[in-house]
Amino acid sequence: MSYDIGKNFTVRISGTSHGANVSCEIIGIPEGTVIDVSKVKKFLLRRAPGRSSLTSLRREPDDPVFESGLRDGVSDGGALKIVIPNSDARSSDYEKLKDTPRPSHADYTAWVKYKGSMDMAGGGPFSGRMTAPLCAAGAVALQMLESKGIYIGAHLLSVGDQHDEKYPLFPDRELLERSAAKEIPALSEDAEMRFRETIRKAMEDGDSVGGIVECAVTGMPAGIGGPMFGGMEGAISYAVFGIPGVKGIDFGSGFDAAGMRGSECNDPFTAECGWITTSTNNSGGIQGGITNGMPVVFRTAFKPTPSISLPQRTVSLSRMEDEILTIEGRHDPCIAVRAVPVVEAAAAIAVLDMMMEESDQYDSQ
Amino acid sequence: MSYDIGKNFTVRISGTSHGANVSCEIIGIPEGTVIDVSKVKKFLLRRAPGRSSLTSLRREPDDPVFESGLRDGVSDGGALKIVIPNSDARSSDYEKLKDTPRPSHADYTAWVKYKGSMDMAGGGPFSGRMTAPLCAAGAVALQMLESKGIYIGAHLLSVGDQHDEKYPLFPDRELLERSAAKEIPALSEDAEMRFRETIRKAMEDGDSVGGIVECAVTGMPAGIGGPMFGGMEGAISYAVFGIPGVKGIDFGSGFDAAGMRGSECNDPFTAECGWITTSTNNSGGIQGGITNGMPVVFRTAFKPTPSISLPQRTVSLSRMEDEILTIEGRHDPCIAVRAVPVVEAAAAIAVLDMMMEESDQYDSQ
Amino acid sequence: MSYDIGKNFTVRISGTSHGANVSCEIIGIPEGTVIDVSKVKKFLLRRAPGRSSLTSLRREPDDPVFESGLRDGVSDGGALKIVIPNSDARSSDYEKLKDTPRPSHADYTAWVKYKGSMDMAGGGPFSGRMTAPLCAAGAVALQMLESKGIYIGAHLLSVGDQHDEKYPLFPDRELLERSAAKEIPALSEDAEMRFRETIRKAMEDGDSVGGIVECAVTGMPAGIGGPMFGGMEGAISYAVFGIPGVKGIDFGSGFDAAGMRGSECNDPFTAECGWITTSTNNSGGIQGGITNGMPVVFRTAFKPTPSISLPQRTVSLSRMEDEILTIEGRHDPCIAVRAVPVVEAAAAIAVLDMMMEESDQYDSQ
Amino acid sequence: MSYDIGKNFTVRISGTSHGANVSCEIIGIPEGTVIDVSKVKKFLLRRAPGRSSLTSLRREPDDPVFESGLRDGVSDGGALKIVIPNSDARSSDYEKLKDTPRPSHADYTAWVKYKGSMDMAGGGPFSGRMTAPLCAAGAVALQMLESKGIYIGAHLLSVGDQHDEKYPLFPDRELLERSAAKEIPALSEDAEMRFRETIRKAMEDGDSVGGIVECAVTGMPAGIGGPMFGGMEGAISYAVFGIPGVKGIDFGSGFDAAGMRGSECNDPFTAECGWITTSTNNSGGIQGGITNGMPVVFRTAFKPTPSISLPQRTVSLSRMEDEILTIEGRHDPCIAVRAVPVVEAAAAIAVLDMMMEESDQYDSQ
């Protein structure tokens, strides 16, 4: 069991959905680092529920308290602790779920693992609420990366059977930030409309729908990462699979690369004005586990929200008999929507941690 | 930089392609564990080059030496060290590559990261040869898992644009082992023929081709893994991205799940004879990061071999000018072929490590 | 920088002396473990200030709040979080110390390390207050060890030039608990009186005094630990040096053993009723880093409290000139007194973590 | 079980006394670091047996082979592997020890821990031979520290009841190196003579004798280390307890500090020419776990060699009866003698690892 990530910029996530708060604690921020608290708050709002009629109605102000590690907006070199109080308290809805686990949810597996001891109210430690402190830590990492000229953005690439365009070879900062302001964080307006319609329809049907998030990291210096288990893909994927609902990840052309020939997939190098780039980016900015200076690009697949209001087949754990379950309450019909900033946060944490491994890169002010 | 994996069953990979040997050292094998050395040797042969006219002609006997940790085939409780001597010695071919990095290879990124210090002969630490000791460690893990009734198998699901069938809902042991004996490790004979043809054609064209490997773990008890960064997907993906050439991974329906609705993707529970299963396995045997007792199923995308004999565009690092590079030597036209046992090995290491985290599961006789 | 300890029973200490609270978070408690909250509270009282006229007058109720991980006194398998609010708030006394670091305190070294960013009010992360959550975690570990028949006790072995008797070869539980109830935790009443007098005199002189704490762990099974960096001494010493003020540790005869001959220092084995013991315990229960079943016994040296009211020579950091400093406020004249339960806590955490490494030992109900 | 140490400069020790070799692998040496192989060889000779009539007669040339990580004397940025072949092969002497464990040796505890599986020939993983690769890694660390102006030396402070003088407040480089060239590494010639006599007498009696090693690290910048478990004392003690035979460690005045008053023990700061020092060094150069720029000074207590030729009381494990054991073979009568460079090596590894944690200190060329 691990709520920790990172070796140099280490993040610990704590709390549960139904407890007093959720929090993150970051160890490894150099003393003297300026952290803009208002930017952290703003970033959290992108993930917060209740922003749209197409997301959960649960109302959480998600107002972070900086408990330690910061003096007048500057890191003191100690652990940075950010606490996010839970205001929308424990629902009694979960009592009835104890005996009839929700399909494709963690109810059953947690019941086996913890032998029934774990309080799964609100999803317990499996709750999407745990991504709020992950976003707080990510918002700090994003600021630290920005001070090095590294920018991270993500957008909804698909919802159900509807697709948006991919990022271009060199997405600029404006493009990376474009989706942030949107209720449905697509790149194109056309896709936004189609995504909205797809989600609305799933909602009307008491159903849910999956989606893919594309994420890009620009401004990465070449030379970050390493061979084998020290690779950039491994670090990012480990962080991203920490987000509930993720079922797949690929880098650059990813699964499409498996259908290509080498002559098509290899990224030709080219030298321009003393700068080495590649004219395509099927590698997703990573070769041999190490960044090559091109944007790091990856896609993350989110499954549809498992909580739907349609009747579903499950079992009674006490009677070991098949049952029909109808879940009440209002859930996000598409978790991929609010997951967009969470993917950015996970990427930022993994990338910053790798940057700090190369001390000469990170310190070279 | 990390050549280590695992917390309980910890594996360290050492050596380089052009040195005297490559090796693995495993710490965490309980004393008294029986290890069949001949099974490890047999497993290594599945990965070894020179088996087929469709793989690299480099000849490596890959004969492992068990240097410490084993007495009369039984673990002594100390570190298990397996050394695989390199016989096919250092090629001078690599000298010319120093100035003109091969596209989509680690030449350029290693040059930046190690500031030119790293000896990249034979690929250095990025070489596919590092997967030989990974397979040795994996072969040990596979045996330890088998003693608990857990079996792992993998097969080529696709090569280029050709596809094979997926594993059924409950693959039996015979099916898991079927591909092992084949030169081209497909499931169906029909696919094997088509894969062979696709690879042969790429070879003839001086080109290469990518592929997808599907892997299944059966017999897994429910309850292994954990929330957030302690999840099974994160552990397996971290191990799998340690294999050179991997660009993507997904679990269960994975990227397809992103296109589904919840009512279609959720796996209904059903109770039969006191045994809880699901009637579909879109979750790939994992819910909330924890195994649910169904087979753990995942796909891994391999890019085409970057070393091709067709002329390619690259740069001269010394002159910072564009160049045309023609790579000589004979390389695997499709790394996915020999990667099949490597994926099994990586999965075995990750799964066993997670099993041992739950001491009550692993020790329970 | 590390506030973490343990691999299997992992403890994170958070907070600072002048913040809202201090806390510990424990990951690795098996679900279903019964934890007696009242015992944790009682243990914390042993460390709390204000118990005696011979310790600090700072008043901290040290009333722990169990924030997560516990349901009706039973571990839920998740992270156990214990928060101890700070009530005796930030003193303005510390402002003047900024420029004139207290001799043998962390003021100067923290100023260098954190480049002046760290808020050292109340000692910041170096404060003895950080041992309150360490004791909370230790109190949990002690309970878990007791359920396996393992008991830990400690006592003041010396204060200044006054000495008490050592534990006998096999201290029983009553003896281990004897010092717990005392204001000055000596074994013999005679020593308690002499220690009290020594401390009182140092206080009267505006001075402080050092001391040695002896700690014993009984009921340890043989076979816990390992060679080299996996040894029991290394684990305990690492934990114990995490306590502020510790300057030395030795096991069994320790430094005295360096003056002995082998024939005198070796512990002869003897077999009685199918039980192997040694007739002396110069090894302190550890041979080759592994427990031998005898009590694990070690001594910890505490320096005198660096904060004294006598005038001292220091420097002005701004003017780089020598200065005379007089520290106000009331401090413990002998930190070793309140450190006795802290040593027990550190030992318990280290020992339990090592026990859990040997899963067959810990699980074997 | 752990053969690993370090987070940034990580060292893994491998092999056993009776196997083909012992080795170390270092990960974390920056590419381009110059490593003088002859200096490593010379350092190993200080530890090697057979140098004196007062140490073991076992003959080991201890000639290290640099297997990977080095090109023309310069680190390539990969893992540095140093292999030391074992030439003085497995003795059959050890067979008889299987049933009658040597008192105060690891025979019994290893038998319990590994349930009889571990081959204890030559001491197995508990052998003093494991300190040969530790010295190899330490010799590399020493060179890296020297390039930053940091020097480490150690000497025999006592043997049995005979004592040498301590290092002065500021030992210079000549003094730190003085003991290195001596057969009996004392500081003063007088002590060397008395130590020699004490050891010779113990030998004649078929007995052994303990000793204390004092070690100093000079040139340390202030600000290295951290509070709680990130402290310098904890790091050094963890490394030092990895050396077989160590039973105690203390820093600065250590155990003596426990007998002092604060006014006597506190180290007064003084500013001279813009440089802050202390006029005494009871802190051993460490305050609050962080270096203060004064020499880091610590003492390590070694017990007498447990293998002595006098008859000793032990048990027969098979018959569970008391037995008399007489150990044959020739052993070091005082392990502290050859341990002097081993303590330097352990200190170098711990200190360098902590230095590298503060990247701005280590990189600031």
B63 pLDDT above the threshold of 70: yes
In A4-134, DSSP assigns E strands to 4-5, 10-15, 21-27, 65-68, 70-71, 74-75, 80-85
Residue A362 structure tokens: 């990170």
Res D273: pLDDT: 84
Tens-place pLDDT, residues D273-317 = 889 999 999 999 999 999 999 999 999 999 999 999 999 999 999
Domains (ranges, CATH) in chain D?
A: 2-364 (3.60.150.10)
Which is more confidently placed, C54 or D164? D164
Helix, strand, or coil here: C321?
strand
Give, for D21, the enclosing helix (H) or strand (E).
strand D21-27
Mean pLDDT calculated for residue range C279-297? 98
Quick check: D105 and D306 in contact, CB under 8 A?
yes
Give the residue-averaged pLDDT of C324-339: 91
Most confident of the ranges C265-274, C277-286, D111-120:
C277-286
Q: Do D262 and C208 count as a contact with CB atoms less than 8 A apart? A: yes
Q: What phi and psi, each to the nearest 5 degrees, are found at residue D4? A: -110, 150
* DSSP reduced 3-state for D10: strand
Tell me what pLDDT residue D89 has: 56
Mean pLDDT estimate for chain C: 93
Mean pLDDT, rounded, of chain D: 93
Contacts of D360 in chain A (CB under 8 A): 30, 359, 363
Closest residue, chain D, to A77 (C-alpha): D226
Please tell me what DSSP assigns to residue D358: S
Q: Which chains touch A (3 or more CB pairs under 8 A)?
A: B, C, D
Lowest model confidence (mean pLDDT) among B215-219, D179-183, D253-257, D307-311: D179-183
Residues A3 and A15: beta-carbon distance below 8 Å: no
**Which of C12, C77, C114 is opposite residue A12, by nearest beta carbon?**
C12
| Binary contact (D228, C211; C-beta < 8 A) | no
**Average confidence (pLDDT) over D218-231:** 97
Task: Check: CB of residue D353 under 8 Å from CB of residue D6.
Answer: yes
> Is residue B91 very low, low, confident or very high in pLDDT (cuts 50, 70, 90)?
low
Q: Are D21 and D84 in contact (CB under 8 A)?
A: yes
C207 contacts: CB under 8 Å, gap ≥ 6: C304, C308, C309, C310, C333, D261, D262, D263
Between B197-206, B323-332, D2-11, the lowest mean confidence (pLDDT) is in B323-332
| Residue D119 with chain B: CB contacts under 8 Å | 71, 76
Residue type, A85: P
Per-residue pLDDT tens over the stretch A122-180: 788 899 999 999 999 999 999 999 999 999 999 999 999 999 999 999 999 999 999 89
B195, pLDDT greater than 70: yes
Query: Which H or E run contains D178?
Result: helix D173-178
Using CB atoms, pick whichever of D30, D356, D363 lies closest to residue A363: D363
Left if phi > 0, otherwise alpha if psi is -120 to 50, otherwise beta: which for D72?
Answer: left
Q: Which residues of chain A have pLDDT under 70?
A: 1, 57-58, 88-96, 359-365
pLDDT value, residue A233:
98
Q: What is the mean pLDDT of residues C320-328?
A: 93
Q: What proportion of chain D, given as a percentage, has pLDDT over 70?
A: 95
How sure is the predictor about D358, in pLDDT bands with cuts at 50, 70 and 90?
confident
* Residue A20: half-sphere exposure toward Cβ, Cα within 13 Å: 9
List of residues 6+ apart from C15 with CB closer than 8 A: A67, A68, A81, C21, C22, C23, C86, C130, C133
Contact D301, C255 (CB under 8 A): yes
What's the mean pLDDT in C211-240?
Answer: 97
* DSSP one-letter string for A138-197: HHHHHHHHHTTT-EEEEEEEEETTEE-PPP-SS--HHHHHHGGGSSS--SSHHHHHHHHH
Instruction: Identify from B76, B359, B362 which residue to disrupt to test chain C contact, counting C C-beta atoms within 10 A and taking the largest count.
Output: B359
Which of C2, C6, C8 shows the shortest CA–CA distance to C359?
A: C8
ipTM of the shown complex: 0.96
Q: Give contacts of D359 with chain A, Cβ < 8 Å.
A: 356, 359-360, 362-363
Looking at the complex, report in whole angstroms how far the Cα of residue B348 sits from the nearest Cα belonging to chain C.
21
For residues B192 and B162, give the distance between their C-alpha atoms in angstroms, rounded to a whole number. 10
The CA distance from D124 to D126, in Å, is 5
Shortest Cα distance from A275 to chain C (angstroms)? 37
For chain B, give the longest Cα–Cα distance.
Answer: 72
Burial level of B82, CB count in 10 A (0-12/13-18/19+)? buried
Q: Which of A359, A361, A362 has the most D C-beta neighbours within 10 Å, making it the best mutation to test the interface with D?
A: A359
Among A243-252, B271-280, C316-325, D46-55, the range scoring the smallest mean pLDDT is: D46-55
- pLDDT attached to residue C149: 97
Per-residue model confidence (pLDDT) at position A364: 40
pLDDT of the residue at B344: 98
Residue A25 to residue C32, Cβ atoms within 8 A: no
Q: Report CB contact under 8 Å: C315, D3.
A: no
Q: In which residue are the tokens 């001269």 written?
A: B316
Q: Contact A140/A349 with Cβ under 8 angstroms?
A: no
Task: Name the residue facing A106 among B287, B314, B336 (closest C-beta).
Answer: B287
Residue D362 confidence (pLDDT): 61
Residue corresponding to tokens 């690299």: B56
For residues B247 and A257, the answer to whether their CB atoms sit within 8 Å is yes
| Least confident span in A209-223, B164-178, C52-66, D238-252 | C52-66
Is A282 in contact with B321 (Cβ distance < 8 A)?
no
In this complex, do A25 and C19 lie within 8 Å of one another by their Cβ atoms?
Answer: no
Look at residues A347, A313, A304 and name the one whose alpha carbon lies nearest to residue A5: A347
Neighbours of chain C (3+ CB pairs under 8 A): A, B, D
Query: Do residues D204 and C251 make contact, with C-beta atoms less than 8 angstroms apart?
Result: no
What pLDDT digit, counting tens, does each position of D96-115 carry?
A: 678 999 999 999 999 999 98
Residues B154, B159, B160, CA angle at the centre, nearest 5°? Answer: 150
Is residue C221 scored above 70 in pLDDT? Answer: yes
Mark yes or no for CB contact A250/B301 under 8 Å: yes
Q: CA separation (Å) from C152 to C4, C176, C177, C296, D166? A: 22, 7, 8, 9, 36
Q: Residue D44, exposed/middle/buried by CB under 10 A (0-12, 13-18, 19+)?
A: buried
Interchain CB distance below 8 Å, C118 and A79: no
Contact C80, C31 (CB under 8 A): no
At B21, the amino acid letter reads N
Tens of pLDDT along B178-191? 989 899 999 999 99
DSSP state of D91: -
Q: Which of D76, D119, D365 to mutate to test the interface with B (most CBs of B within 10 A)?
A: D76
Please compute the mean of the pLDDT values over residues C323-348 and round it to a whole number: 94
Q: Which residues of C touch A32 (CB under 8 A)?
A: 115, 117
Query: Helix and strand tally (H, E) in chain D?
Result: 10, 18
Q: Is the per-residue pLDDT at D353 higher than 60?
A: yes
CB atoms within 10 A of CB D220: 28
Cβ of D113 within 8 Å of Cβ of C226? The answer is: yes
Please give the model's pTM, rounded to 2 decimal places: 0.95
Determine the pLDDT at residue A203: 95
Q: What are phi and psi of C129, to 5 degrees?
A: -60, -30
Give residue C18's pLDDT: 82
Average the pLDDT over C274-297 and give the result.
97
Q: Please say if the pLDDT value at position D365 is more than 70.
A: no
Query: How many angstroms separate the CA atoms of B269 and B280, rounded?
Result: 9
pLDDT top residue among A121 and C20: C20
Q: Which residues of C touch A117 (CB under 8 A)?
A: 31-32, 71, 74-77
**pLDDT given for residue B120 in this prediction:** 82
Which of A116-130, A240-254, C26-40, C262-276 bottoms out in mean pLDDT, i.e. has the lowest? A116-130
Contacts of C253 in chain D (CB under 8 A): 247, 303
- In this prediction, residue D178 has a pLDDT band, given cuts at 50, 70 and 90, of very high
Give contacts of D126 with chain C, Cβ < 8 Å: 227, 288-289
Neighbours of C36 (CB within 10 A): 13
* Residue D116 confidence class, pLDDT cut points 50, 70, 90: confident
Sign of the CA dihedral with A152 first, then A155, A158, and A160 last: positive
Asked whether A152 and A145 are in contact (CB, 8 A), the reply is: yes
pLDDT of residue A191: 97
CB contacts of C98 in chain A (<8 Å) are none
In percent, the amount of chain B with pLDDT more than 70 equals 95
Q: Are A202 and A270 in contact (CB under 8 A)?
A: no
**Residue B154 CB contacts under 8 Å (≥ 6 apart), including other chains:** B179, B185, B213, B214, B215, B216, B340, B341, B343, B344, B347
Instruction: Name the residue of chain A whose CA is nearest to B253's CA.
Output: A247
For residue C365, what pLDDT is reported? 36
CA distance C283 to C295: 10
pLDDT-based confidence at residue D360 (cuts at 50, 70, 90) = low
Residue contact D71–B114, C-beta within 8 A:
no
pLDDT tens for each residue of C90-143? 555 566 678 999 999 999 999 999 988 888 877 888 999 999 999 999 999 999
Phi-psi region of D344 (alpha: psi -120 to 50; beta: other; left: phi over 0): alpha
Count CB pairs under 8 A between chains C and D. Answer: 386
Kindly tell me if the per-residue pLDDT of C39 is higher than 70: yes
Q: Which residues of B touch D76 (CB under 8 A)?
A: 114, 117-119
Average pLDDT over residues C12-36: 94
* pLDDT the model gives residue D114: 92
Residue written as tokens 């050092």?
A: C210
Cβ–Cβ < 8 Å for D189, D201? no
Instruction: Give the chains touching D; criterion: ≥3 Cβ pairs < 8 Å.
Output: A, B, C
Task: For chain C, list residues whose CB is within 8 angstroms of any CB belonging to chain B.
Answer: 7, 30, 356, 359-360, 362-363
Question: Tokens 């302690």, residue?
Answer: B230
Separation in Å, CA of C38 to nearest CA in chain D? 27
